[in-house]
Amino acid sequence: MRKIIQRIPLYQKRNIGEIINATFDFLKENKRLWFIGSTAILLPLCALMLMMESNVVDDITYDLYYLTLLTHISSALVENAFAVVVATVAMQLTGAWLWTMQDLYANQPERLRTLTVRQALTAWLPKAGKMLLAGIIIVSINLFISILLQSGQLFLTLIILLTVPPVLLIGPVICLEKVGVWDAFTKAFRLGYKEYFRLIGVLLCMTLIYIALQFSIYWVSVLVSLLFSTLFGSLSINHLPFWGAVIIQFLVLLMWYVSLMASSFLLLSMGYYYGDLAQKVYDASLENDIENFENL
């Protein structure tokens, strides 16, 4: 007998553990659409980073050789502005894809079972455009503040700590609600500060899960790099045979891809966290309306 899987509601009050469970259950139930869509978005962008930043490969393999944990991603992003831009765009587009899936899942009678990738991508495109516009606005504001506060690093850090959590709700608002970009900004900040520290807790939990998911590909990369260094005495692309260089570059591409795919858990959890906040605000508003009606 086939097991009946209950629909995962989007707008529902949840604690942190329930948000994490809902995130994993959603990806498990819709793994095919998640994998195909995210791969179609991420692989071309990862390949673009690899092609445009040829020196990154040597940097990353050097980091792998000396077993510096997780620097295979951070070194490339910090030292290469182009990689920062592409990785940011990749996160935005992936987030738009996941939140579009959440929206369709909540509003389709058959959830996502009969939905094709083409139909999902059609729904995703306008939301992805709004996400990119929101990203440009956020970057512009950050640059403007950085220029104004060149000597006030402590104050700038404080501003970032206060604004980053609510900023992460902008994407879910854009993709899950029929609002414009500016309205999404105002709504995200209004909701984000209602339970600021709880939002920080969700972010920390999902970040730890994100780091843990990277360990598998990291240790595979370490073993492969050590094998290559044993065989050839170097991991530099210039000192490897053609097939070795291809494998190393594929490994770098795979690391970027897996790291960005792992971010799906963090991004999707923000959708369920937004659903929790929105439901609380709706319930509070409804209770106030009832109380006001009774007082008439």
| pLDDT, averaged in runs of 10, over the chain (296 residues) | 71 88 91 92 85 55 44 48 78 92 88 85 92 86 71 63 78 88 87 80 80 70 65 59 72 79 88 88 52 48
d(C-alpha 15, C-alpha 20), whole Å: 9
Rg (CA), the chain: 22
Report the pLDDT value the prediction gives residue 34, as an integer from 0 to 100.
Answer: 93
In the chain, what are the domain boundaries?
Answer: 23-104+117-281
The helix (H) or strand (E) run that includes residue 288 is helix 242-294
pLDDT score, position 125: 92
Tell me if 57 sits within 8 A of 252, measured CB to CB: yes
pLDDT on residue 224 = 67
Q: CB-side exposure of 144: number of CA atoms within 13 Å?
A: 6
The whole-number pLDDT of residue 116 equals 85
Predicted pLDDT of residue 6: 80
Residue with tokens 């929105």: 278
- The reported pTM is 0.80
Question: End-to-end alpha-carbon separation of the chain, Å?
Answer: 55
